[in-house]
Chains A and B, each alone.
Chain A
Amino acid sequence: MPLYRADFVGNLAHDEPQEYLWTMNLGPQHPATHTTLRLVLKLEGERVVDAMPDIGYLHSGFEKLGEHLNYNQYVVVTDRMNYCSCVANNVAWHLAVEKLLGIDVPPRCQYLRVIVTELARIADHLVCNAAVGLDAGAFTFFMYAFNPREQIYRILEALCGARFTNSYTRVGGVMYDASPTAISLIREFVRTFPRALNDMEQLLNRNRIFIDRTKGIGVLTKEEAINRGVTGPIARASGVTRDLRKDEPYLAYRDFDFDICCATGGDCYARYLVRMAEMRESLKIVQQAVENLPTGPVNVDVGLRVTLPEKPQVFGTIEGLIQHFEILMWNRGFQTPWGEVYSAIEAPNGELGFYIVGDGTDRAYRARCRPPSFIHFALFPHLIRGHRLSDVVAVLGSLNIIAAELDR
């Protein structure tokens, strides 16, 4: 199906412009780019010969900011990284910090983090598939997908007070314990979401127009996926059977029964299907986690001197008060070892890792984020070469590029 110019060797985007090629600019402000990225397309008629991505239209210095904010403050910035699944970034960041500090969070906190990460995964896949549908002309699907998202927002709002950018985790725990309201909202979501998902699948899975627009478009083989560092649903749609939740289990993922969804097509349609199937698996995890939620504290022991003591202790005892101030004062905080760790989680988009260099203080010396969107967008010219102009939006949507994560 892909139509390569077999006789052409070299890189058309950078060589001399040739007569039969048109140059088209797409973005940085264009509805199908979702946020801010720019593509310079070389077209031969309607066929894309080459694409030259130009990014950085949302580069805001996240990593520089990470060197100036302490480990608890920076969680606010990680929210703004992949804003379709804010909590997953919070969890990834604080898991990395906890790995640097060498502490393990209590079981209840692990379960709560699993619940919010999986809810974030559902929200992210919903918005991604909604965007694919929208770009392929299925506007109703977009409306169907945004309704369960509002339900997830309500759950997160009940958990931590913020609807969208949550900043739910803290070093050594989470901000608030789950209230009975939140638990009942999660139960309700687990009950009602399968029906919404069924509706969505019936709407699009066998839709002729949608299949024509996505099947066989933007094919990525398994070897290429590995060579290009692709992870997450995109790699699984190409047959890479890798999921950090199974391969390097973090938090409490060992306790749950769930499957890894893979496909072999490697095209936009396979990516769509993998995301649809993953939502079901995530829902299974949420259900198991909320039914088996352990009791106990949500923060690590205050003796480790990384979390704030309980409020009654702060107001009632002098030790609690001193400890509270010890952590909050700018020249105290907690101490980190001199060391460097890399810790990654399976974020909705792929492997989201943080490489932290600790220098003894409560700020990171270097806070590198390994953003899946950045790696995935580098694929784009490779995927689109030889396809039609209208396939650009389908491929772009199926890669789920989040510009804030792409540029950071």
Chain B
Amino acid sequence: MSSTVRYLQEVFGLLEEYEFRGQRQVVVPREKLFELLKFLKETCGFDMLVDVTCVDYLTYPCPPRWGRFGLVYNLLATETGERLIVRTFCDVETAVVPSVVPLWEAANWLEREVWDMFGIRFEGHPDLRRILLPEEFTDHPLRKDYPLQGKGERHNLPVITRAEG
């Protein structure tokens, strides 16, 4: 495992790699993300993409220096049972990352969900639409500057009384 990480360090110039509670995470610059994931899938045997998600570090006490949004790619090698978490960062202005749908079909809906909830665009995604919220929704609710109760969208609907049927 550590030899893989050392190799990644040399080839892709990892920003950081660390281990917490037995889980290894590597941080990679956004430009190198697709290459790295492709390498991991094709050479290192990480054939399953378990999860794609994002964390908004706007109000975090010690925000990471690479950007506001931290994307999380959770990989698994089904043969060996190894897990690896790949991180990459971006900001509101540069919220575009390459899509990994060409590598794993599983990323299709997961990336749509990240777009829906955080407003991060995935370049090269075949069908990047909102998935959970209605199309006419304008905000991205899991961003930290969006209030829990929303901005009144939930009650912006017509009322039907008894007499109307």
Contact = CB atoms under 8 A, between A and B. Distances in A.
Interface of A: 11, 14, 55-56, 59, 61, 63-65, 67-68, 99-100, 102, 224, 226-229, 240, 242, 247-248, 338-342, 344, 351, 353, 355, 357, 359-360, 365-366, 368, 370, 374-375, 377-378, 382, 407-408
A365 B60 contact: yes
B105 A64 contact: no
Contacts of A11: 126-127
Contact of B21 (A56, A99, A360, A377): A99
Given A14-B127, A357-B55, A366-B55, A341 B106 contact: no
A63 B109 CA distance: 17
Contact of B106 (A67, A339, A378, A407): A378
Given A61-B141, A355-B74, A228 B105 contact: yes
Contact of A378 (B25, B85, B109): B109
A375 B109 contact: yes
Contacts of B23: 341-342
A226 B48 contact: yes
A102 B83 CA distance: 19
Contacts of B49: 229
A68 B146 CA distance: 13
A125 to B, nearest CB: 23
Interface stretch (B5-13, B30-38, B91-99, B130-138): B130-138
A365 B21 contact: no
The listed residue with most B CB atoms (<10 A of its CB), out of A61, A102, A382, is A61
A366 B54 CA distance: 9
10 contacts: A59-B132, A59-B133, A68-B148, A227-B105, A240-B78, A353-B50, A355-B72, A374-B110, A407-B132, A408-B132
Given A341-B21, A360-B61, A407-B132, A351 B50 contact: yes
B17 interface: no
A365 B105 contact: no
A253 to B, nearest CB: 14
Contacts of A341: 20-21, 23
Contacts of B53: 355, 368, 370
A59 B132 CA distance: 6
A248 B47 CA distance: 17
Contacts of B109: 374-375, 377-378
A230 to B, nearest CB: 8
Given A359-B60, A359-B61, 19 more contacts: A14-B127, A55-B131, A56-B132, A56-B134, A59-B133, A64-B141, A64-B148, A100-B21, A226-B78, A227-B105, A228-B106, A338-B62, A339-B21, A340-B55, A366-B56, A370-B50, A370-B51, A374-B110, A375-B110
Contact of B48 (A56, A229, A360): A229
Contact of A63 (B106, B110, B142): B142
A382 B106 CA distance: 12
Nearest to B117: A63
Contacts of A375: 106, 109-110
A227 B131 contact: no
B61 A338 contact: yes
Contacts of B130: 56
Listed residue (A68, A229, A240, A339) with the most chain B CB atoms within 10 angstroms of its CB: A229
B104 interface: yes
Contacts of B62: 338
Nearest to B61: A359
B81 A342 contact: no
Contacts of A102: 21
